[in-house]
């Protein structure tokens, strides 16, 4: 069973994604911003982080860079409501596995999660 951390400042989106990914029989938790996510990572050790880009306190790009430096083994998929492909490509350059746009295509997200977890878990 994989551990997935969903990081989004919008509680409705975060709760929805936690519930949907839990249906894939994974252990799923949530965090409201990048700082909270980094604290959770220290103790919970997720295999994959689903990380929103635009958040208060610490945005997703800053959290991604920290995760890559401290926990390079954790897979990261970014989420963005921004249609600017430059921002999304920047996250890939910074070390994200992939990104999804909001509103999230749930089937595509589940496919990305499962694909990456196969790589991570072996």
List of domains in the chain = 3-121 (3.40.50.2300)
Whole-structure pTM value: 0.95
Mean pLDDT of the chain: 94
pLDDT at 52 (0 to 100) = 96
Q: Kindly calculate the radius of gyration of the chain based on its CA atoms and give it in whole angstroms.
A: 13
Structure tokens at 117: 């977890």
Which stretches in the chain have pLDDT values below 50? none
Q: Give bridge partners of residue 78 from the DSSP assignment.
A: 51, 99
Place of tokens 């977890």: 117
CA 56 – CA 45 distance, rounded (Å):
23
pLDDT score recorded for residue 32: 97
pLDDT recorded at residue 82: 78
């Amino acid at each position: 069973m994989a551990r997935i951390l969903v990081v989004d400042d919008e509680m409705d989106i975060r709760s929805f994604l936690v519930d949907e990914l839990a249906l894939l029989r994974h252990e799923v938790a949530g965090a409201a911003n990048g700082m909270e996510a980094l604290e959770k990572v220290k103790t919970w050790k997720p295999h994959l982080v689903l990380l929103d880009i635009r958040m208060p306190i610490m945005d997703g790009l800053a959290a991604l860079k920290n995760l890559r430096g401290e926990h390079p083994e954790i897979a990261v998929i970014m989420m963005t409501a921004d249609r600017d492909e430059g921002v999304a490509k920047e996250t890939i350059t910074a070390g994200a596995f992939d990104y999804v746009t909001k509103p999230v295509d749930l089937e595509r997200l589940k496919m990305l999660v499962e694909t990456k977890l196969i790589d991570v878990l072996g």
